[in-house]
Structure 1
Amino acid sequence: MQHNHQQADQQQADQQQEQPDQNQEQHPFVYIFVGRRTFYLLSLNDILRLRKICRWLRELFRALQLRQRLSHSLCTQAGLRRTASGQQLLTFDEQQMGVSDLLAALCVTEEGGWREMSEAVELAGQCGRCQLPVRLTATDLHRYPNKTAYLADPRVLAHLKMVGPHIDFGNGVTFQLFHHGNTLRAIKDQEGFELTIDPPLPPNHPYQQHRQQHDPPVRNRITFVLALGWHMSLSRPRDYSSVSSYVKSIVIDHFRGTHQINFTRRTIDRNVDNNRLDTIVIQSPHTPVEGCTTTASYRCTDGFRRRRLILTDAGHPFVAWIYIMEASFHNFVHAWVCTTEPAVSGVGDAFKDRFPQTTRLARVVLGAIISAILFDR
């Protein structure tokens, strides 16, 4: 997180730091930290303060030690590994980084959690839009000039600015963000691709009531259909419950537009089974849903809430999700189960027989009563 024109000079200084005088006597305080767990108990601010005190303290935290600290942080920070397989979702090109870049990487890793963006990254990996783990480089870190600028943005937006270029939609299009003064655009640097972060919402709007400062709502008109590609929707903007929900929604929209999707659909009383579907729709969009790997929520200006419940993770050979949308008539919702699971042949036309794995995953989320309505009639 420093200006690019300073990078070469800083890297040279970092290399010089890595070659201390072999005859220099080490201060006894060194042995409190080197090779001990105490090193990992220091906060990043502690490390920065100690480095400023004097040279021998600064040499406790050379590139070698900072790489060890970064490796430890990546292994222990919540959200940076898949729960099921333990595979790393995010890493750094740390062998190509000097001290200043490694300190920036530690800041990015340790200042706030990565759960929200990690879920988006894992979904993008499922959909074939990025390689896991995402490997951040010094160039990604330099999207912010310093720690103060990085911390000034909502945390998940800051993560997206670094991770977005690694989410590749093909044909040279990534999830890159573009700045033009106070204007922020996503995916394409063109009119119509503007994002409004934390748009003005009425006090009774569900996304205002459940607003999270580190992951605020987003408004935009970007959409994707195969015939038109990426374009601005002329109908109405969408309000997404959060930055992370916006990323996941866009990834699914692109995936749906570029793959054959099989689905089954029903209109169901939202109060069935002790208000099960109603609860999923009206609860906080940040509330996890049992049986789902992640969720994404948005609402158009028609006022009807939509929620996608992702059923699969990167360990599945297909992608499946439930899509629930409030209906225009009272007390009902529309429910879809969508999948790219290869169809079983020779078993008839019933969705539950042709796509048994998806059906099994959906039943866990929907429960027996709603599943019977959706699959067994």
Structure 2
Amino acid sequence: MQQPQQQQQQQHPFSYIFVGRRTYYLFSSIKDILRLRATCTWLRDLFGAAQLRVRLSHSLGSQAGLRRAVNGQQVQLLRFDDDHFGAHDLLAAVCVVEEGPWGEMGEVIELAVQCRNCDLPVILTADDINTHATKTAYVSAPRVLAQLKMVGSHFHFSDGSCLQLFHHNGEVRAIKDQPGQPGFRLEVDPPLPANHLYRQHRQPHDPPVNSRDIYWSPYHVRWRVGGGRFTQASLSSFAKRVGGGRVDGLLTESPHTPVAGCSTTVSRRQLVLTDCSHNFVAWIFISESGNNDVSVRIETTEAAVCESGLFKHRFPLTTQLARVALGAVAPYVFDGLIPTAVISIAMRVTIWTTAAEVKMPQLRRTAATDRSIDLSILGVSLGC
């Protein structure tokens, strides 16, 4: 009995600070733990797998961007397979969770769930974490890119492929790792003109990305690239797309600005109207084609309540959601209102109302109607 007492007396008094679960959170940053593990070898046992697993659970639960309310219950979007993690992997997992917010990636995961490309929660394994060789490699990349490299492989498409990113010799490629095929290459944070909207609202952790249009071709039964290269507002926009007046404001405000009534946004103003609580997906595409021409297209996978009739009657839930996002423009889109006053044309808007059915990995349009109306009465102007 005397020997254990002697060993207890030999413990450093500072070690008693770490006794108990609550005092473990005296360290506000994982950097404190890493520094102590590196410099105080006698404290390493106090930061073993059990303690790190508790820390990981606490840190993950503190990420508001990784939680969603579904049917009145809080649902976790992401977790780790930490039951099979050793201390090294647990430490790495705590690092990636605490290094930055996960809000953008939470939106990507939520949209992937709506499109049936993944199930909740997304479970990251040790292999996912180890796509980054070191902590330095993780923090040296834009945060959303670093997160997408771990999470993207869990977004599965119908052909068995996934949204995987490959990083070699300074080049980033998506879905296919083909050095000889430049079409799948992503140019992260490309140079942009000084007056470019995406440059003005650039976010270092989620910068713009330049790429060609990467799409699945049912006819060729493979992934293809088409058209010229174009720039997405951000990396998270790229991941979510794989595609005075209200319309003017939606086009010219920051692409990172949330839009009322929408769960998320994608560049070129693709507004997602639904979230995890809906059993269908609906969105609005708004794009400018020059000469003050703007296209507004609404797509939905909502089941039609009747076989024929106006879009607002066939798809009432989508119409209700879209009215919130479009604001004062909504009556001109859904109700067929035509300005009666004689006003000089400031913008011609083409309205598409589309029903779509899920055909993964992309949506296939099944019906469309096109009508053009003058929205100059709304005071809409792009300043062109």
TM-score relative to the length of structure 2? 0.80
Q: What SS does the aligned partner of 1:32 have?
A: helix
Larger Rg over CA atoms: 2
State which of 237, 241, 246 in structure 1 corresponds to 2:233.
241
CA gap of 1:372–1:32, structure 2 versus 1, over 3 A, is same
TM-score relative to the length of structure 1? 0.81
- CA shift, 1:22, in A, is 12
1:288-324 deviations in whole A, cap 9, x for unaligned?
1111110000xxxxxxxx2100010122110001111
**2:184 corresponds to 1:193:** yes
Aligned to 1:207: 198
**2:284 corresponds to 1:322:** yes
**2:31 corresponds to 1:38:** no
Q: What SS does the aligned partner of 2:241 have?
A: helix
Aligned to 2:370: none
- CA shift, 1:211, in A, is 1.1
- CA shift, 1:31, in A, is 4.0
Q: Distance in 2 between matches of 1:68 and 1:23?
A: 30
State which of 50, 68, 74 in structure 2 corresponds to 1:82.
68
**2:271 corresponds to 1:309:** yes
- CA shift, 1:23, in A, is 9.8
Q: Is the 8 A contact 1:222 1:230 kept in 2?
A: no
Q: Distance in 1 between matches of 2:261 and 2:6?
A: 60
Letter in 1 for 2:189: D
State which of 135, 156, 160 in structure 2 corresponds to 1:172.
160
CA gap of 1:221–1:95, structure 2 versus 1, over 3 A, is same
- CA shift, 1:161, in A, is 0.7
Aligned to 2:127: 139
CA gap of 1:318–1:32, structure 2 versus 1, over 3 A, is same
Q: What SS does the aligned partner of 2:203 have?
A: coil
Letter in 1 for 2:188: I
Q: Is the 8 A contact 2:56 2:94 kept in 1?
A: yes
Q: Is the 8 A contact 1:363 1:371 kept in 2?
A: yes
1:1-377 to 2 correspondences below 5 Å: 25=8, 27-42=12-27, 43-83=29-69, 85-190=73-178, 191=181, 192-224=183-215, 225-228=217-220, 229-233=222-226, 235-250=227-242, 253=243, 274-297=244-267, 306-330=268-292, 332-345=293-306, 348-367=308-327, 369-377=328-336
Q: Is the 8 A contact 2:213 2:228 kept in 1?
A: no
Backbone CA RMSD of aligned residues: 1.9
Letter in 1 for 2:317: Q
Aligned residues: 323
Q: Distance in 2 between matches of 1:109 and 1:172?
A: 28
Shifted more, 167-176 versus 149-158: the winner is: 167-176
CA gap of 1:327–1:232, structure 2 versus 1, over 3 A, is closer
Q: Distance in 2 between matches of 1:349 and 1:195?
A: 43
Aligned to 2:369: none
Aligned to 2:380: none
Q: What SS does the aligned partner of 1:79 have?
A: helix
- CA shift, 1:27, in A, is 4.9
Q: Is the 8 A contact 1:312 1:321 kept in 2?
A: yes
Letter in 2 for 1:350: L
